[in-house]
Amino acid sequence: MGVTMGGSILGNRVLRKEDPRFLTVGGKYVDDLLDEALLKGAAHVTYARSSVAHAKVLSIDVSDTKNMPGVIAVYTAADLGLEATPNNFNPTVARTMLASTKVRYVGEPIVAIVSETREQGEDAAETVIVDYDILPAFTDMEEALASSTLIYEEAGSNAVFDSTALGNPDFTGDEFFKDCEVVVSEKINNQRVAPCPLEVRGSAVAWVDGRLFQWLSTQHAQGCRDVLAAVNGLEAGQLRVITPDVGGGFGAKIGTYPEEQLLGILSKKVGRALRWRETRSESMVALGHGRAQVQTVTIGGTKDGKVLAYRLHVLQDCGAWLDFGTILAPFMTRPMSSGVYAIPAIECRTTSIVTNTTPTVAYRGAGRPEATAAIERAMDLFALKLGMDPVDVRRKNLIPKFDQPHTTVIGQTYDVGDYEKSLDKVLEAANYKKLREEQAKRRASGDTKQLGIGISVYVEITGGVPPMGEEAKVEVLEDGRAIVYTGTSPHGQGHETSWAMLASEQTGIPMDKIDLVWGDTDLVPVGGGTMGSRSLQQGGAAVYEMSAQLVEKAKKVAAKLLEANEADIVLDKDNAAFHVVGTPAVSKTWADLAVAAKPDGGLVHGGTLTVEMPTFPFGAHIAVVEVDTETGKVRHLRHVACDDAGKVLNPLLLEGQIHGGVAQGTAQALLEEVRYDGDGNPITSNLADYAFISAAELPSIEVVHMETPTFVNALGAKGIGESGTIGSTPAVQSAVIDAVSHLGVSHINMPTTAERVWSAIQSAKK
């Protein structure tokens, strides 16, 4: 297990505590709560959804639905008295939780059906008849922008949120590039993708003595509690959100959705506990989507490769409601537009636009992959135009190593960085020189299997979402076991293991005697959840700090028991016991102290750790692909990733995060895209049609380690949850283009499918 006696456990490859349970009986996900007493006899909820993308609703007929077998009740927005609620980001945009006067995307819930079984609910949903007056549907942001047909009439425009309205400057004119000898521009599609956690959304509710209990598959119980309380007209204390095991989130389970928010109301109406679980086909159209930006990049500089000016215009697709996706462009993409480069002049404007598509949310990386993709694509285009090696152009423009905060011209302050070192590390690990030689050989011979090499260097922002800090509480019980309470919310990240490592390091209590409590708002009322790669640097750091403070508290108790001065008490971590300095033979265990402290409220300590700023992980990736020039088919041969997340707590978990991130980033570059037809009908609405990446489409991932600790927290740790996604997408896309750039191809939009690559080769021939 890598535990060294007398040494620190931190930094070791510690196997996960949670695994035996997952491997032998499986996790307990929300749909597995068959034994939960409060849910005995629960009825099921099914939502009838819009089958059209944009229409006025003339009437909703549920007369047949009410008579279907097993149906307990059927509700429309009018039946429930639902009123349109204004959006947080733009109050002129408002909707009801069940569509009432208008539907705005395929999949929008319209009718709630309560039935004895799930199957009966699905059958009943088929009988709902909605009379629609069809309106033009927009799946293309520029068409939505140009049209006088508005998705939300009261908003006055389909452009609903703009960075200029936040006080950020608009573009200046052509003089912005006047000092540049070379200027290149390109319109880039950072396509819409589906987060696809393996577990879809699910929830269950029960009213207990006027309190609502809601089980929810979520990344942030405390945040959801506040929203659910407001919807149900409750005080926060009248609602208990409980998080069972969660089968992946990737950002899409940060907030709550109308289907979950309505359950408490429905349960009260029918007087029954309720369960709801969407199908995968529902999930593909009603769980939020990610990315969905159209970017126009313009980059200019000198003939020898120095970038002087960079302009980025982002159109951010909100989908049909203003969820988190709306604000990712101004608050995440724009601040990171400079990437790892010292660019003297940057202009970035973002415009968020509503369309008749599924609303967009945060998805692994959330705005930073898009910023990185834009600047990295721009760098490649600039290099190609100059005929320079993309590595040389990057090297010429990298921000030099810094260990004091550095502020880019767009106004974002980074903590620490050593970008060139990460680039050097991947070049060496990949043997870049040899790869280029192999590529030259294949080009010279006219091989139909061409080699492509893609490089990306990135920096991202983690722990940048409020609250800037986290709660932790550590309690030692009378049997010597400890319970750690955390405001973070693991769903695959391994907090049971990591937080136990941190608490064990401070207290000496063995990891197998430390349990973790999270995601239950009665037990952990305050917490920031798990998102934006914040957990270790804030939640873990809080556990580390509160554990240390608990040791100090315990020393006071030990001093009393041992009749000594508090200053003379030492903790022998190897034996998890306290003694007076110099006399280890007489000691008190944690259990002894817990018993002694019982009359005074027990041996427990908790509090909030705050941090001053986010952290900025960085790194470099090299992707190597082979492209069949006759068919356009791409094979991803190698992926070398150097992701510097500061001081590493558990390399096993760190690598797991990188692997997963690289796979999702590669999926966007090569395969995955949510697509609609011209009428706004989704055509990738299940896992047979959506090109979810599989093992067969990926190589093993070569991880190169690098640690540049941050000063922001005591652990020196930065986030690692999203880095792999951010670094990989541009590297893989770039590799595909690089494989055929000698044929005259300078850009291929993602996903770089065989069809797109083949078409690009054919167009270049003309």
Partner 1 sequence: MKISVTVNGKKHDSDVEPRTLLVHYIRETLGLTGTNIGCDTSSCGACTIHVDGQSAKSCTMLAAQADGSTVTTIEGLAKGDTMHPMQQAFMENHGLQCGYCTPGMVMAAIGLLDENPNPSEEDVRIGLEGNLCRCTGYHNIVQSVLSCAGKK
In the complex, the residues that contact partner 1 under the rule CB under 8 A are 15-16, 18-20, 22-29, 31-32, 34-35, 196-200, 245-248, 250, 279-281, 491-494, 652-653, 655-656, 658-664, 686-688, 692, 694-696, 698, 700-701, 724
**Which residue lies nearer to partner 1 by CB, 295 or 685?**
685
- By CB atoms closer than 10 A (0-12, 13-18, 19+), residue 486 is buried
> Shortest distance, CB of residue 660 to partner 1, whole angstroms?
5
> Shortest distance, CB of residue 494 to partner 1, whole angstroms?
7
Hey, what's the torsion of the CAs at 216, 220, 225, 228, to 10 degrees? -70
* 219 neighbors 226 (Cβ within 8 angstroms): no
**Which residue lies nearer to partner 1 by CB, 18 or 186?**
18
**Which residue lies nearer to partner 1 by CB, 362 or 748?**
362
d(CA 28, CA 26): 7
**Which residue lies nearer to partner 1 by CB, 298 or 728?**
728
**Which residue lies nearer to partner 1 by CB, 223 or 724?**
724
d(CA 177, CA 502): 51
**Which residue lies nearer to partner 1 by CB, 75 or 250?**
250
> Shortest distance, CB of residue 248 to partner 1, whole angstroms?
4
d(CA 496, CA 18): 7
* 727 neighbors 620 (Cβ within 8 angstroms): yes
Number of helices (H) and strands (E), helices first, in the chain? 20, 30
> Shortest distance, CB of residue 466 to partner 1, whole angstroms?
25
> Shortest distance, CB of residue 721 to partner 1, whole angstroms?
11
In degrees, to the nearest 5, what angle opens at C-alpha 730 toward C-alphas 342 and 661? 110
**Which residue lies nearer to partner 1 by CB, 239 or 703?**
703
> Shortest distance, CB of residue 410 to partner 1, whole angstroms?
31
**Which residue lies nearer to partner 1 by CB, 305 or 494?**
494
> Shortest distance, CB of residue 665 to partner 1, whole angstroms?
9
| Joined tokens for residue 745 | 């191809």
**Which residue lies nearer to partner 1 by CB, 197 or 417?**
197
**Which residue lies nearer to partner 1 by CB, 29 or 485?**
29
| Joined tokens for residue 72 | 């307990």
> Shortest distance, CB of residue 23 to partner 1, whole angstroms?
4
Say how many CA atoms lie within 13 Å of 371 toward its Cβ: 30
**Which residue lies nearer to partner 1 by CB, 217 or 462?**
217
**Which residue lies nearer to partner 1 by CB, 469 or 539?**
539
Q: How far apart are the first and last CA of the chain?
A: 61
> Shortest distance, CB of residue 664 to partner 1, whole angstroms?
7
**Which residue lies nearer to partner 1 by CB, 159 or 637?**
637
> Shortest distance, CB of residue 3 to partner 1, whole angstroms?
15
User: What SS3 state is found at 516?
Assistant: strand
**Which phi and psi (to 5°) does residue 275 adopt?**
-120, 145
> Shortest distance, CB of residue 45 to partner 1, whole angstroms?
17
**Which residue lies nearer to partner 1 by CB, 287 or 383?**
287
d(CA 674, CA 269): 37
Residue 319, C-beta contacts closer than 8 angstroms, at least 6 positions apart: 105, 288, 289, 292, 325, 354, 355, 357, 358, 359, 360
How many CB atoms are closer than 10 A to CB 63? 10
User: Assign residue 529 a region: left if phi > 0, alpha if psi is -120 to 50, beta otherwise?
Assistant: left
| Joined tokens for residue 453 | 């090499």
**Which phi and psi (to 5°) does residue 199 adopt?**
-95, 125
Q: Could you tell me the strand order of the sheet in which 202-208 lies?
A: 71-75, 109-115, 43-49, 274-277, 202-208, 211-216, 239-242
SS (H, E, C) 433-493: HHHHHHHHHHHHHCCCEEEEEEEEEEECCECCCCCCEEEEEEEECCCCCEEEEECCCCCCC
**Which residue lies nearer to partner 1 by CB, 122 or 226?**
122
- Nearest alpha-carbon partner for 16 in 654, 531, 666, 568: 654
**Which residue lies nearer to partner 1 by CB, 26 or 169?**
26
> Shortest distance, CB of residue 262 to partner 1, whole angstroms?
23
* 453 neighbors 442 (Cβ within 8 angstroms): no
d(CA 607, CA 448): 62
> Shortest distance, CB of residue 243 to partner 1, whole angstroms?
13
Q: Could you tell me the strand order of the sheet in which 583-589 lies?
A: 569-572, 577-580, 583-589
- Nearest alpha-carbon partner for 37 in 204, 266, 220, 238: 204
In degrees, to the nearest 5, what angle opens at C-alpha 465 toward C-alphas 461 and 467? 135
* 416 neighbors 402 (Cβ within 8 angstroms): yes
| Joined tokens for residue 99 | 């569509």
In degrees, to the nearest 5, what angle opens at C-alpha 709 toward C-alphas 7 and 329? 135
d(CA 385, CA 377): 12
* 266 neighbors 279 (Cβ within 8 angstroms): no
> Shortest distance, CB of residue 491 to partner 1, whole angstroms?
5
**Which residue lies nearer to partner 1 by CB, 279 or 583?**
279
> Shortest distance, CB of residue 62 to partner 1, whole angstroms?
24
> Shortest distance, CB of residue 678 to partner 1, whole angstroms?
24
> Shortest distance, CB of residue 14 to partner 1, whole angstroms?
10
d(CA 277, CA 71): 17
Helices 651-670 and 723-740 meet at what angle, rounded to 10?
40
**Which residue lies nearer to partner 1 by CB, 602 or 656?**
656
> Shortest distance, CB of residue 636 to partner 1, whole angstroms?
11
